[in-house]
C-alpha cells in the first residue's frame, strides 16, 4: 500500500518549536522534495514533512488566504492518513457522525487576505500525503439557543448610553457571530470599540460583528456598549444572529465517493454510455447525478444490472447508467457529482469529450514530421555540432511557424537537455533531441569507464518464495548486443532461479498501459530525460496511423511525439497516472533504469515517483542526472536481488549502493521514494481488516491476489455490516462479474502469501449469503465457501469447507438482492473461524479463500470476510 515515509541516514537532536515536540532525532533529507502545494479558489495549502523517525513524521501545514476577503473561523478537512498526535496551533474536532477535521485554536481563527496561518502535528504510520484539503466552515443563521436584549444605562435629552447583550443558552460556543438588529433608535458609536464593529445597513438597521468578543462561550454572554439617539423608549424590534460552524454536509461528502467507468470519450468513436458508481452509506434518500450542475439521472442500489448497472441491492454502492451527450465539435469536459435529498454532495469527477484528429490535422502533422525527418536524415546535419543542429532546426521550425504548420510562438529551447520543443496543431507537443542517445552510456561519452555487469547472485538459499514473485523487465533500448545480451541474460538467470519473468524487448505505448499490473518487481529500462521515458524508434515508429491509434494520449499530452534515433514517442508521468489507478500497483517495486527520471542537476523531480506511488506502488527508484549504463543496471539488479532475500526497500538500496557506489562516474545517483520499510513478502497478514486509507478509494482488497468477483463493501443489506468500516466480499459471479470462473465453475478467490513465523493460528470473521436456501437446500446446488492452505508452489497442504448450502444453518436477511436468481436471500450470520497453522511455523504459506457454484450458476452465493489475522 502507498506509504509516504522518509528514508534517513543521519540522526541529530533537534529542539521542537512547541513543548509537545520534545527533542527527538531528525532525519537528513538530502536533496529531497518534501513539500506539496494545493491551490483552490481563494486559498492555498502547503503541506511539508519537516522531520521523520521510525514510523513517525512531523508535518507542517500552511493555510494561505489568496482571496479578497477574510477567512473567518477557519476549519480544514483532510485525511492525514495516519494516527495524529501532538498538534500545535490547531485543534482536532469531530462532526456529529464522528468524522475528524481540523480547526483553528481561537487566537488564529481569522486569516486576512494575503496572510496565512501555520500549524503542525505528528502522524504515525502515514500511508499517503493528503489528496485534498477543503475549507469546511460555513456561516449559517442560528435559529435558537440564544437571546438578544437591550439595556439602557443613561439618558440625556435625545441621547442615551446602552448595551446590547447576546446571551448564549447552549453548551457550545457561538463563534464569529454577526448580529443584525432593527431598532427605533440610531447607534452613533460603539463605546467598547474593541468588542465589535457596527455597520448601518439602512436607517435603524445595523450589522454588529464581534471582534474581541467574536466568541460567545457556552452559557455566557457578551455586552456591546454604545451611544445612541432615541425617539421614544429605545427598543430592539427584531434581530437575527449568524455564526460560523463546520459544514457537516461538506465534510460528509468525503465519505461519498463517486467514480465512473470511463474518464474520456473520443467523440464519434467511443461508446457514450457511462456507468457511475457512488460508494455511500446514505439510506432513505434519493441520490441524483449532476452534470455541470444540472440534475440528469437518479442513482439506484436495487440489484438491477441491466437497467441501472447495479448488481447487488443493499451494498452501499449506488449505480446509474447514463448516456453522455456527445453532440459537440470542440474538446470539452463534463463535471459530475452526486447529491442527495439530505443535501450531501460527493466528490467531483470529470469525463472529457475529445474530438478526434481531422484529416487536415493529421496531414499537417505528417507534413511537419516529413520536414523534420528530412533535416535529421541529411548527412550535413548528422556531422554537425549541437549548436549547428539547433540553428538548422530553429530555421525549419520558424519557417513552419510562418506557414501555419505549427502553433505560433510555440518553439521552446531546453539548453540543459539539448531539446527543442514545439506544438503541432491542437497544441500537440513535439520534441527534437539534438544529441543522440549513446548506445552504451545513455548519452554520456564515458566509454572507458563503463562498469562491468555484476555476476548472477545465487538466490537458492533465500527464504523468499521466488515462484510467487512476478517480474516485468521492459527493455525499451535499441536492439544492440550491449543492451539485448544483458537483458536476455538477466531474464535467463532469474527464470532459472524460479521467478516468473515477463520480458518485453519491443515495448509499445499499448504495452505500457497494462504491463505493470500484477507484478512485484518491475524494471522500466530505456533512454530517458526529465519527465520523459523514451520508446525505441525501431519498435514504436511514430506515423499517421500510430498518431490516430494513440490520439487520446497525444491530445491529452500523456505521450509526446519525439525525434532522435527515429520518430517515436516519449512517455510522460501523466500516462502512468492515467492508466494505473490507486491500488493497481499495490505491492510493486519499480526501478526506472533510465537517465534523469528523478531530475537533473541538484533539482529532484518527483513526477514519475508521484505517478507510481499514486497507484500504490511500494517504492520507486530512479536516477537524478544522466547515468552510465553499467552502473545503472548493476544498481538495479543488486537492489532487486537484495529485496528477494527479504530485506526492506531502504536496506536493499543501501546494500546495492554500498556495492556499486553512491553515484556513477558522471555524478548520477539513485533516489528512492515510497515506503522505506516495504518488503516483498510480509511476515503477517496485510490488510486483513480492509481499513487502510487507500482502500477507501479501491474497490478490490489491497495486498490480496484476487480472481473473479472480489470487492470491498461498507455494508450488505440491512443487517450485515463490517466490524469497523469495510469488509471483503467474494461471490460466485454477479452482474458485471457473472462470467468469472474458478475450478471449472463460477466462483472467486482471494489469497495472500505470508511467512508464518511463530504464529500458531489463523482466524477470521465471515458471513455467507446465498440465494439458494431454502428451496434448493438438499439438492445438487450445493454452493460452498472454502479455505485452503497452500505452499509457495500452489500445492494444497490443507483445506476445509467452512459453509455449504446443504449443511449450513440459514437465517433470512432483508435488504439484499443479487442480480439474477430470485429475490429471497439468506445468510449464516457472522461467525469466527480459527485454523491451526502450527505445523507451518517458520514456513511460507499461501492463504486462499474460495466461494464457488456447485450445480448451476443461476442462483448466487457470496461470503463477506473481516478481521483476517494470525495469532
Residue 394 scores a pLDDT above 70: yes
DSSP classification of residue 727: E
Q: How many CA atoms lie within 13 A of 807 on its CB side?
A: 7
Specify the higher pLDDT residue, 293 or 693: 293
Taking residues 824-830, report their average pLDDT: 95
Say if CB 48 and CB 57 are below 8 A apart.
no
| Closest by Cα among 110, 241, 107 to 174 | 241
Residue 835: exposure state from Cβ atoms within 10 A (0-12, 13-18, ≥19): middle
CB-based contacts of 67, cutoff 8 Å, min separation 6: 41, 42, 43, 113
Look at residue 32 in the predicted model and tell me its pLDDT: 42
Q: Is 314 left (phi over 0), alpha (psi -120 to 50) or beta?
A: left
For the chain, give the mean pLDDT. 87
pLDDT band at 418 (very low <50, low <70, confident <90, very high): confident
Choose among 142, 163, 146, 139: nearest CA to 241. 142
Find, among 281, 180, 286, the residue nearest to 238 by Cα.
Answer: 180
Phi, then psi, of 777 in degrees rounded to 5: -70, 135
- Whole-number pLDDT of residue 450: 44
> Quick one: what percent of the chain has pLDDT higher than 90?
66
All 3 cell numbers of residue 620? 520507486
**According to the model, what pLDDT value does residue 253 have?**
63
Work out the pLDDT band at 449, boundaries 50, 70, 90: very low
DSSP assignment of 367-432 equals HHHHHHHHHHTSHHHHTS-HHHHHHHHHHHHHHHHHTTSS-TT--EEETTTTEEEEE-GGG-EEEE
Under 8 Å between Cβ of 671 and 622: yes
- Give pLDDT, residue 466: 74
- At 847 the pLDDT is 96
Distance, CA of 790 to CA of 513 (rounded, Å): 32
Q: What are phi and psi of 280, to 5 degrees?
A: -150, 145
| Mode of pairing for the β-strands spanning 264-266 and 349-354 | parallel
Q: Does pLDDT of 526 surpass 90?
A: yes
Residue 284 confidence (pLDDT): 67
E strand or H helix at 636? helix 629-643
Nine-digit cell at 651? Answer: 536496506
pLDDT at 773: 93
Above 90 in pLDDT, residue 866? yes
Q: What is the pLDDT of residues 160-199, one digit of tens each?
A: 999 999 999 999 999 999 999 999 999 998 887 778 899 9
State pLDDT tens for residues 422-438: 999 999 999 998 887 65
* Stretch (H or E) spanning 298: strand 294-298
Query: For 831-841, what is the mean pLDDT?
Result: 95
Q: How would residue 761 be classed by pLDDT, with cut points 50, 70 and 90? A: very high
Q: How far apart are CA 218 and CA 847, in angstroms?
A: 55
- What is the structure's pLDDT at 22? 33
Rounded Cα distance between 590 and 608, Å, is 11
- Alpha carbons 732 and 742: distance in angstroms, whole number: 9
pLDDT at res. 510: 96
Cα distance between the two ends of the chain: 22
pLDDT of residue 777: 93
* Cα 340 versus chain centre, distance: 25
Kindly state the percentage of the chain with pLDDT values over 70. 91
Q: Give per-residue burial for 728-754: e unless 16+ CB within 10 Å, then b.
A: bbbbbbbbbbbebbbeeebbbbbbbbb
pLDDT digits (tens, 9 = 90+) for 668-700: 999 999 888 899 887 789 999 998 777 888 899
Which pLDDT value is given to residue 13? Answer: 27
Residue of 556, 616, 553, 629 lying closest to 590 (CA atoms): 616
Q: Can you give the pLDDT at residue 438?
A: 57
pLDDT band at 463 (very low <50, low <70, confident <90, very high): low
| Predicted pLDDT of residue 641 | 93
Greater confidence (512 vs 542) lies with 512
Strand 619-624 and strand 589-593: the pairing is parallel
Interhelix angle 629-643/481-496, nearest 10 degrees: 10
Contact criterion met (CB below 8 Å) for 326 and 517? no
- Over residues 312-319, the mean pLDDT reads 93
When mean pLDDT is compared across 271-275, 403-407, 537-541, 572-576, the lowest value belongs to 537-541
pLDDT on residue 52: 85
pLDDT in tens, 634-668: 999 999 999 998 899 999 999 999 999 999 988 99
Q: Quick: pLDDT tens for 596-620.
A: 999 988 788 989 998 999 898 999 9
How confident is the model over 402-421, as a mean pLDDT?
89
pLDDT of residue 20: 38
- In this prediction, residue 6 carries a pLDDT of 28
pLDDT of 16: 33
Q: Tell whether the model's pLDDT for residue 789 goes beyond 90.
A: yes
Q: Give the range with max mean pLDDT: 35-44, 49-58, 271-280.
A: 271-280
pLDDT exceeds 60 at position 453: no
Q: What is the pLDDT of residue 739?
A: 62
Q: How far apart are CA 394 and CA 399, in angstroms?
A: 8
Nearest to 757 by CA among 643, 868, 843, 870: 843
Interhelix angle 359-376/386-402, rounded to 10 degrees, is: 150
What confidence category does residue 127 fall into, taking pLDDT thresholds of 50, 70 and 90? confident
Residues shown for the chain: 871
The predicted pLDDT at position 798 comes to: 95
66-79 pLDDT, tens digit per residue, is 999 999 999 999 98
Q: Tens of pLDDT along 537-593? A: 777 888 889 999 999 999 999 999 998 756 899 999 999 999 999 889 999 999 999
Confidence of residue 318 (pLDDT cuts 50, 70, 90): very high
131-162 tens-digit pLDDT: 788 899 999 999 999 999 999 999 999 999 99
Q: Which three cell numbers stand for residue 252?
A: 460528509
Q: Which pLDDT belongs to residue 28?
A: 33
pLDDT of residue 614: 87
Residue 393 clears pLDDT 70, i.e. is over it: yes
Burial of 150: CB neighbours in 10 Å, binned 0-12, 13-18, 19+ = middle
Amino acid at each position: 500500500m502507498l506509504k509516504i515515509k522518509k528514508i534517513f541516514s543521519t540522526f541529530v537532536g533537534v529542539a521542537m518549536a512547541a513543548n509537545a515536540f520534545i527533542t527527538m532525532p531528525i532525519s537528513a533529507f538530502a536533496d529531497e522534495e518534501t513539500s506539496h502545494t494545493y491551490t483552490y479558489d481563494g486559498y492555498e495549502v502547503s503541506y511539508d514533512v519537516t522531520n521523520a523517525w521510525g514510523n513517525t513524521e512531523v508535518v507542517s501545514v500552511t493555510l494561505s488566504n489568496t482571496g479578497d476577503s477574510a477567512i473567518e473561523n477557519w476549519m480544514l478537512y483532510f485525511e492525514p492518513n495516519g494516527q495524529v498526535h501532538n498538534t500545535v496551533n490547531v485543534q482536532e474536532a469531530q462532526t456529529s457522525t464522528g468524522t475528524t477535521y481540523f480547526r483553528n485554536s481561537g487566537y488564529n481563527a481569522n486569516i486576512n487576505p494575503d496572510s496565512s496561518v501555520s500549524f503542525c502535528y505528528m502522524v504515525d504510520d502515514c500511508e499517503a500525503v493528503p489528496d485534498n484539503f477543503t475549507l469546511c466552515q460555513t456561516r449559517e443563521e442560528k435559529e435558537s439557543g440564544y437571546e438578544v436584549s437591550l439595556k439602557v444605562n443613561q439618558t440625556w435629552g435625545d441621547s442615551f448610553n446602552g448595551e446590547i447583550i447576546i446571551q448564549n443558552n447552549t453548551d457550545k460556543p457561538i463563534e464569529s457571530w454577526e448580529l443584525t438588529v432593527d431598532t427605533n433608535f440610531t447607534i452613533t458609536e460603539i463605546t467598547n470599540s474593541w468588542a465589535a464593529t457596527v455597520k448601518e445597513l439602512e436607517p435603524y438597521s445595523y450589522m454588529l460583528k464581534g471582534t474581541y468578543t467574536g466568541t460567545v462561550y457556552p452559557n455566557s454572554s457578551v455586552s456591546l456598549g454604545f451611544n445612541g439617539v432615541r425617539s421614544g423608549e429605545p427598543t430592539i424590534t427584531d434581530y437575527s444572529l449568524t455564526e460560523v460552524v463546520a459544514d457537516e454536509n461538506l465534510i460528509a461528502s468525503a465519505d461519498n465517493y463517486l467514480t465512473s467507468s470511463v474518464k474520456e470519450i473520443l467523440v464519434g468513436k467511443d461508446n457514450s454510455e457511462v456507468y457511475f458508481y457512488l460508494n455511500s452509506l446514505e439510506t432513505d434518500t434519493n441520490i441524483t447525478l449532476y452534470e455541470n450542475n444540472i440534475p440528469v439521472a437518479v442513482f439506484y442500489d436495487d440489484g438491477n444490472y441491466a437497467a441501472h448497472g447495479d448488481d447487488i441491492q443493499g451494498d452501499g454502492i449506488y449505480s446509474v447508467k447514463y448516456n453522455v451527450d456527445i453532440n459537440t465539435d470542440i474538446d470539452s469536459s463534463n463535471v459530475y457529482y452526486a447529491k442527495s435529498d439530505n443535501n450531501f454532495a460527493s466528490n467531483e469527477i470529470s469525463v472529457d469529450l475529445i474530438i478526434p484528429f481531422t484529416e487536415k490535422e493529421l496531414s499537417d502533422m505528417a507534413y511537419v514530421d516529413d520536414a523534420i525527418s528530412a533535416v535529421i536524415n541529411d548527412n550535413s546535419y548528422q556531422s554537425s555540432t549541437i549548436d549547428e543542429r539547433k540553428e538548422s532546426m530553429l530555421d525549419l521550425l520558424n519557417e513552419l511557424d510562418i506557414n501555419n504548420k505549427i502553433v505560433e510562438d510555440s518553439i521552446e529551447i531546453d539548453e540543459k537537455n539539448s531539446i527543442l520543443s514545439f506544438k503541432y496543431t491542437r497544441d500537440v507537443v513535439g520534441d527534437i533531441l539534438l544529441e543522440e542517445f549513446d548506445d552504451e552510456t545513455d548519452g554520456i561519452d564515458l566509454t572507458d569507464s563503463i562498469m562491468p555487469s555484476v555476476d548472477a547472485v545465487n538466490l537458492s538459499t533465500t527464504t523468499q518464495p521466488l515462484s510467487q514473485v512476478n517480474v516485468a523487465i521492459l527493455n525499451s533500448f535499441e536492439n544492440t548486443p550491449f543492451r539485448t545480451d544483458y537483458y536476455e541474460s538477466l531474464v535467463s538467470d532469474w527464470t532459472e532461479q524460479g521467478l516468473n519473468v515477463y520480458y518485453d524487448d519491443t515495448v509499445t505505448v499499448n504495452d505500457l498501459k497494462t504491463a505493470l499490473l500484477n507484478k512485484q518487481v518491475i524494471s522500466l529500462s530505456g533512454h530517458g530525460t526529465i519527465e520523459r521515458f523514451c520508446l525505441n524508434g525501431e519498435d514504436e515508429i511514430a506515423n499517421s496511423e500510430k498518431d490516430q491509434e494513440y490520439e487520446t494520449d497525444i491530445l491529452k499530452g500523456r505521450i509526446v511525439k519525439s525525434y532522435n534515433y527515429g520518430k517515436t514517442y516519449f512517455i510522460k508521468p501523466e500516462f502512468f497516472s492515467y492508466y494505473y489507478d490507486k491500488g493497481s500497483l499495490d505491492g510493486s517495486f519499480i526501478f526506472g533504469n533510465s537517465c534523469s527520471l528523478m531530475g537533473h542537476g541538484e533539482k529532484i523531480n518527483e513526477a514519475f515517483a508521484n505517478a507510481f506511488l499514486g497507484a500504490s506502488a511500494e517504492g520507486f527508484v530512479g536516477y537524478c542526472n544522466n547515468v552510465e549504463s553499467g552502473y545503472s543496471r548493476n544498481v538495479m539488479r543488486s537492489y532487486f536481488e537484495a529485496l528477494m532475500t527479504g530485506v526492506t526497500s531502504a536496506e536493499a538500496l543501501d546494500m546495492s549502493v554500498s556495492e556499486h557506489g553512491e553515484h556513477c562516474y558522471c555524478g548520477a545517483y539513485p533516489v528512492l521514494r515510497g515506503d522505506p520499510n516495504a518488503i516483498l513478502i510480509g511476515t503477517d497478514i496485510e490488510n486483513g481488516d480492509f481499513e487502510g486509507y487507500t482502500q477507501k478509494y479501491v474497490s478490490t482488497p489491497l495486498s490480496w491476489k484476487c480472481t473473479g468477483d472480489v470487492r470491498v463493501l461498507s455494508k450488505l443489506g440491512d443487517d450485515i455490516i463490517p466490524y469497523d468500516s469495510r469488509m471483503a466480499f467474494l461471490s460466485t459471479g454477479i452482474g458485471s462479474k457473472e462470467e468469472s470462473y474458478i475450478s471449472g465453475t463460477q466462483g472467486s478467490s482471494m489469497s495472500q502469501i505470508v511467512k508464518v513465523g511463530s504464529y500458531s493460528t489463523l482466524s477470521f470473521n465471515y458471513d455467507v449469503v446465498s440465494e439458494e436456501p431454502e428451496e434448493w437446500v438438499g439438492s445438487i446446488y450445493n454452493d460452498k465457501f472454502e479455505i485452503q492452505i497452500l505452499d509457495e508452489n500452489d500445492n494444497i497442504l490443507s483445506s476445509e469447507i467452512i459453509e455449504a448450502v446443504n449443511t449450513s444453518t440459514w437465517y433470512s436477511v432483508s435488504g439484499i438482492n443479487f442480480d439474477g436468481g430470485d429475490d429471497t436471500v439468506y445468510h449464516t450470520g457472522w461467525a469466527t473461524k480459527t485454523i491451526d497453522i502450527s505445523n507451518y511455523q517458520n514456513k511460507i504459506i499461501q492463504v486462499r479463500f474460495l466461494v464457488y457454484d456447485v450445480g448451476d450458476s443461476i442462483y448466487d452465493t457470496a461470503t463477506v470476510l473481516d478481521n483476517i489475522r494470525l495469532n
